[in-house]
Structures are given as C-alpha cells and as structure tokens.
C-alpha cells in the first residue's frame, strides 16, 4: 500500500515539476534517455529496488506509468493544438520565417521539426486541431 501511495505522489507532485515547460522542449534522443534514466532511478528508489538490479524496468512500468518521452510528446502536441487555433495575427508571428543564415554542419532540432515529427507519428494534420475533442483523443497516450 505504501508503494502505491508513493507512486501516486510521484505521478501527481514530482513528475509535473520534473516536466515543467516540457511542451516547449525540442527533446533530442540523448536528452530523452537522460530523462528516462532519471525517472527510473527515482522510481527504483521509491519501490526499494537496488540500482544494481537489472531488468526491473518492466516491473516498474507496471506501476501505471507512461514513458516520460511519450508524456512530453503529448504535451508538445497539446500546445501545438493551442497554437494552431490562435488568431491569425498571433499565428503570423509564430509562422514568420527566421531571417539570416544558419551555421554550417548538421542543424540542431528546432521545436517546429519535433512538432512535425510528432504529428506524423500520430497521423495528424494541422486541420485536425480545429476539432478540439478529436485532437485531444488522438494525441492522448493511453495509460498501460
């Protein structure tokens, strides 16, 4: 019973603080792995599992938690829905191209790039955002 309470506190208090502002992050794979590792360490400590024990992540996932990268993706899509429904004057500033040259070499991921990737992964198009109920259902990650 105590572990369930600790997990509930983690889900309602710690995780929201941990992910504050996640809808604006252009999360790279490396950063996603760091977040996942940090979350697993916290959950292992809550459940009393030694950090040396391997293969326990599946047991922890059964504690009714969705991967943190999926939660961030959902938050990003939710924010994108708000942006797509904004007035044209505000949206024009959002869609205005940045002037100037980009540096040489591989470019860093921008928020816009990740947003397009997330929408492709869920099979969404920008027009879907105007039906709020459908958008909300399609971006939601089901809890295991």
Residues 36 and 54 in one domain: yes
Q: Structurally, how many domains does the chain consist of?
A: 2
Residues 28 and 86 in one domain: no
Q: Token pair of 48, please?
A: 């009393």
| Residue 112 within a domain | yes
Return d(Cα 89, Cα 46) in angstroms, integer: 48
| Residue 36 within a domain | yes
- Please list the alpha-helical segments (H only) found in 24-129: 29-47, 57-61, 68-84, 88-95, 111-122
Residue 55 confidence (pLDDT):
66
Determine the 3-state secondary structure of 124 from DSSP.
coil
> Domain span at residue 114?
71-95+108-139
| Residue 144 within a domain | no
Please report, in tens digits, the pLDDT of each residue of the chain (144 residues total): 688 888 888 888 988 888 898 888 888 888 889 988 888 888 888 888 887 777 667 777 776 577 888 888 888 899 888 888 888 877 777 777 778 887 888 887 788 888 888 888 888 888 888 888 888 888 886 654
Q: Token pair of 87, please?
A: 């007035």
Residue 53 confidence (pLDDT):
74
């Amino acid at each position: 019973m105590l572990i369930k309470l600790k997990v509930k506190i983690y889900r309602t208090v710690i995780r929201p603080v941990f992910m504050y502002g996640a809808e604006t992050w252009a999360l790279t794979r490396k950063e996603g792995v760091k977040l996942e590792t940090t979350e697993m360490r916290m959950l292992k400590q809550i459940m009393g599992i030694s950090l040396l024990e391997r293969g326990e992540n599946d047991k922890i996932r059964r504690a009714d938690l969705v991967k943190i990268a999926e939660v961030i993706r959902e938050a990003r899509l939710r924010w994108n829905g708000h942006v797509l429904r904004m007035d044209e004057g505000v949206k024009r500033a959002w869609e205005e191209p940045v002037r100037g040259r980009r540096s040489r070499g591989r470019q860093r991921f921008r928020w816009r790039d990740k947003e397009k990737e997330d929408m492709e992964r869920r099979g969404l198009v920008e027009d879907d955002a105007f039906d709020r109920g459908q958008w909300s259902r399609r971006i939601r990650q089901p809890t295991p």
